[in-house]
Every structure is written in structure tokens, then in C-alpha cells.
Amino acid sequence: THEVTSTESMPGKLLQPLFDDERVLLVAYNDQKPNSNSSTPKAHAKGLLATDGETAVWLVHSVPRYPEIPVYKYPLTGGRYGQSFLCMSLQASEVDKVATQLRLMVPLIYYTRTPEAVLARFPILQQVVAGKWQREAPFQNKVKLATLSGTKFKSFAKSGKAVTELYEDVIAPALDVNLLVETWRNGGGNLETNCTRSDKVYNIQEIKEQQLQIAFNTTSDHSKWAVSQESGFQLWRWRVGGADWLCVGDINRQRDQLVRGGGSVCLKNSKVAQLYRQLIQGYEPCPRQSN
């Protein structure tokens, strides 16, 4: 294994070859761009989309000021707290689906490399690169994505104009599950656990990894993910009839983010969901006035 700061790390080995190949289209976005202390009222969204016109990569992550381009570098600030990454290898046919989500979220794009012949294949991505954002309703959207290996994802996105909370207003009702959510809880305006609806949303408070003997509070974690609460029934070693979802995204459960764009990408997989559930040491219960 290699430190995330190394070009030999998984993200380093993914990104540096993309940076080096001038034939590859790149769109990088981050509400806190590299080598800058400023932030933006645009989407609370971080990621990178790359395509050569035949296949594509979409990286969704939580790391401020990352990645630097054209030489891979991981920021020192990204090592202070926990972070999350989700990387999807896609067919080129999925690129404009991703672009539809970006156009709705209105991210701060800090780097583009747009070979003309490649960009010409993607009319919606052209609008994103040109800053032609979606200004009309609907202000939230869901698209289905499939990776090169056939793994299916659901991407959820919202505009700041939606004035909604992504997890309780969009994802939980769409998946019809209770969600346990891990997002940044430092600063003001944190939203409490919501149990007023049939699909409840709980704030995770503590993470613990037994094998590595690591434990920390959510205030030490900058990652953004959510996992569905266990449902269905246990049949020997397996759970039957449940909905096992894991979502990785880039927006927090905080009041000021109701008016900012953002999104999350969800995978239905019982093994992956259970691995994430095992990390949860504690979560905020329902407020007393809730059921």
C-alpha cells in the first residue's frame, strides 16, 4: 500500500496518466480549488470527469483543494480529517448523463482540457464547460449509470434552487430506506436526525474500524457517505428482502447547504453496505418529539 500523497497510490495511479495524456478531456471541479483559500457559493461538489471519447472516468470525492493538475499532489489539509473517494469507469455513452447532473448542481470548475473532437461528442458537457447551467425546474434529478463491468449506480443531484436537504428530501424517499449519514459536522447549522418521515435519516456520530484499531468522532471526518439501515429478515448468514444501499457524495447535512447544489452516487450491494455499517459505532437517535 502507498500513502495517498504518493503517485503510486490508487488515486495517484488513476489520475497522473489522465493528466499526462493530452488526448483525454478533463473537467475538474471543487468548491475549494487547489492553491486557494477562497470558497464559492456554487455547488458544494468535488470531482473530476475524464474521457477519451470511448470510455470515461468519474471521480466523486470530498477532498478540498484537490486534485492539483497537471502533476498529482495531495494537499496537506486533506490529511487532517477522514475523506471519501468513489471512482467509476464508464462507457462514453454515460458522459452526458454525468454532465446533466453537473449542469444542475452548478459546480466551481477550476480546470478544463477539452480536445475539440472529443468535446464535440457530448452536447450537454459542452454546456457545462461553457457555464450554461440549468436554470429551470426541476431542480433535483436522478440518473442511472452503468460501469464498464456492468455495475449499476444511481446518481442523485440537486440545484441550490431546490432548497432541499439531499439525504432526507431526495435520496431516502427515492430509495425508500432509512439512511445513516456521515458528513462534516464542524461549524454551524448542523441538521439533526430526522425521524418525522417514514424514511428516517440519522446522523452518524462515531466511526470505529476494529482490524486497524481506528476510532474517531464524526467531527474528525470530512467524508460524505450514507448507508441504508438494515431491513428485511435474517436467513442463516444472509439478509433477505432488505435494501442495501451505499451512497458516496460531496454535500453535508448543514443548513447553509440547503441552498447549494450537490449530489451523491448510490450502489446497491449487500456486502459493501454491510462493511460500511460495521464502521458505525454510534449515531444520533431520533429527537424526543419524533416517533
Whole-number Å distance between alpha carbons of 32 and 196: 34
61 catalytic per annotation: no
Residue that has been written with the C-alpha cell 478531456 in this structure: 25
Whole-number Å distance between alpha carbons of 81 and 281: 17
Q: What angle do CA 210, 211, 214 make, to 5 degrees?
A: 60
| Per annotation, catalytic residue among 2, 44, 61, 222 | 222
3-state SS, residue 255: helix
Buried (b) or exposed (e) across 46-61, using 16+ Cβ within 10 A?
bbbbbbebeebbbbbb
Whole-number Å distance between alpha carbons of 187 and 241: 39
Half-sphere exposure for 249 (CA within 13 Å, toward CB): 33
Cell readout for 54 is 470511448
Q: Annotated active-site positions, please?
A: 222
